[in-house]
Amino acid sequence: MKLLSSIRLVTCISICFLAATGEGTVRLVGSNVSGVVSPPPTQPVVIYCDIDGTLPVDQTYQLTWTRDGEGLITYNNDVVFKGYQSRLTVTNSPVDESRLSLEINPVQLSDAGKYDCSIVGLYDHNLIASSYLSVNQLPNVTAKVNELTVIEGNEVILGTCFANSSKPTPEVWIEDSLGNRIDSLSSVTVVDSQEHQGISDSVLKFSKVFDRSDNSKSYHCVVQHPDRLESYSAFIGEVDVQFPPTVEFMATSHGEDISMQEEQPFNMECLAGGNPQPQVVWTFQADDTQTDTNSVDVDTTIPTDPPSTDLPSEFQAS
pLDDT above 70 covers a percentage of the chain that reads: 70
The string over 85-119, giving b where at least 16 C-beta atoms fall within 10 Å of a residue's C-beta and e elsewhere, is eebbbbbbebeeeebbbbebebbeeebeeebbbbb
Same domain assignment for residues 237 and 182: yes
pLDDT greater at residue 182 or residue 169 = 182
Same domain assignment for residues 120 and 179: no
Same domain assignment for residues 91 and 166: no
Same domain assignment for residues 108 and 220: no
Same domain assignment for residues 28 and 58: yes
Question: What confidence tens digit (pLDDT) does each residue in 99-115 have?
Answer: 899 999 999 888 999 99
Q: What is the mean pLDDT of residues 289-303?
A: 49
Same domain assignment for residues 35 and 54: yes
Residue 201 lies in a domain: yes
Residue 235 lies in a domain: yes
If pLDDT is split at 50, 70 and 90, which confidence band does 246 have? confident
With 90 as the cut, is the pLDDT of residue 132 above it? yes
Domain boundary among 223, 242, 261: 242
Residues of the domain holding 69: 16-137
pTM score > 0.85 for this model?
A: no
Q: For residues 207 and 147, what is the distance between their CA atoms, to the nearest angstrom?
A: 11
Same domain assignment for residues 129 and 147: no
Q: What is the mean pLDDT of residues 69-82?
A: 86
Residue 208 lies in a domain: yes
Same domain assignment for residues 101 and 194: no
Same domain assignment for residues 44 and 83: yes
Q: What is the mean pLDDT of residues 32-43?
A: 82
Same domain assignment for residues 157 and 81: no
Same domain assignment for residues 150 and 121: no
Sequence-separated contacts (24+) of 74-82 with Cβ below 8 Å: 74/102
Task: Provide the CATH number for the domain around residue 79.
Answer: 2.60.40.10
Q: Return all residues near 205 (Cβ < 8 A) that are at least 6 apart.
A: 157, 159, 160, 161, 185, 186
Q: Domain total for the chain?
A: 2
Same domain assignment for residues 121 and 167: no
Residue 297 lies in a domain: no
